[in-house]
A and B are shown apart, each in its own frame.
Chain A
Amino acid sequence: MHPISPIRLLQCLLLLLGLTLGWMSVAGERGPVIPKGKGDRCVADTDFMRRNHMDLIVHQRDETVIRGIRDEPFSLVECVDCHAQRDANNEPIRVDAEGQFCASCHTFVAAKIDCFGCHAAVPDGEDQERADGGHWLPNKQLAAFRPHKAAPLKSSVRSTVSSDHDELSSDASE
């Protein structure tokens, strides 16, 4: 039998205290504070948006730029329309400004996006009425957008471009 030395005991207590304090400080910081969007729902389930928004908008951008498909639920313009906050003077605040919607989580997880170097980060002029929640993508259609099931974007971009090219140039050679 070893009698427990008072020093050892003190060390153990200090360690316990340290761990508790450490845990408390982590638990106290529950995550980013995310400003709320306009209306009562997003363009798809909130859970789904949290996990998949990056794939949705990147998919959308190729659809729009290469295939000319517009006015779809995952347009970046629409994200900004609903998610830009307003300051005390009712002026819109950039969605990528510190603490604002797109920056809130990204700062927390150290993700960095360059989209708003080109894209407007505040809505344009007239505020659109979105009483109906704007576009809504039914859950059963979301499966099509699951990143793992979707075709790799890079290769689909390539093939679209080159096949278009062939199509048009073969017309000319007739």
Chain B
Amino acid sequence: MLPNKAQAARRLFLQRLGVFSAATALPALLSSTVDAQSSTKGVSSAQRWGLLIDTSKCASGCDACVRGCHEEHGINSTGNEHTDAQWIRKIDLQNNLSGQKSSLPMMCQHCESAPCVDVCPTGASFKRADGIVLVNKHTCIGCRYCVMACPYKARSFIHEPISDQKSWAPRGQGTVESCTLCVHRIDAEKDQQPACAVACTDEAHSAILFGDLNDPDSDIVKAMANQPASQVRSDLQLNTGVRYVKL
């Protein structure tokens, strides 16, 4: 127990801190209600984009999300399978005790404390204000520290020259890439979904839900309130933006 005087001083300090943070939070709250589009104003930390993946709806053997993603970004096999870019992959799990099986897509988890950001020597691996973790390929020197630092093996290095890129998805030799949560789609238009989520819905699985983790009224937050959602490797305390249900 603290002596009474120190306790009082501490309480006063905390009170003031509360008033101060309420005052600073207010404008942010007001602006967050305006719109979700960043196209003209730029991204803001009022949003934090994320995914909720329901593994019970994810079918083993189905790779619609992988195809959807790779088609969207013009990712084709170079013929060297072991070095092909892979922004999203399917993983099958089995509980050895019960034999229970599940299947899930694995991609960049858009960590709040992203190890790939910490290790990048140029600042090219960075987190946008809205929580999306990206590679700025203009400043990426291809050192691949981030590839090694990522606990989810979510990043790929481009070994070979690339041609016929999509105009919205520039990609090239000598840089690292990974899931961008389809920034080009979600920045451009309100209510746009990442390509993987669209592909999953088109396949009638709807296992991937995209939304704003900071918005208590969003479908994703409501879905997370109804059922336990976990982080892969939660022991690392990275506070991932991608969460899994029934993992």
Contacts and interface: CB of A to CB of B under 8 A. Distances in A.
A115 to B, nearest CB: 8
Size bracket of the B interface: 35 or more
B146 to A, nearest CB: 14
Contacts of A77: 167-168
Size bracket of the A interface: 20 to 34
Contacts, number: 91
A67 B127 CA distance: 10
Interface in B100-139: 112-113, 117, 123, 126-131, 134, 136-139
A67 B43 contact: yes
A69 B139 contact: no
B166 interface: yes
Contacts of A167: 45, 129
Q: Which 3 A-B pairs have the closest CB atoms?
A: A118-B172, A67-B42, A68-B43
A119 interface: yes
Contacts of A127: none
Secondary structure call for the A interface: helix
Given A68-B38, A164-B45, A120 B166 contact: yes
B184 to A, nearest CB: 8
A101 B131 CA distance: 38
Contacts of A150: none
A157 B131 CA distance: 17
B29 interface: no
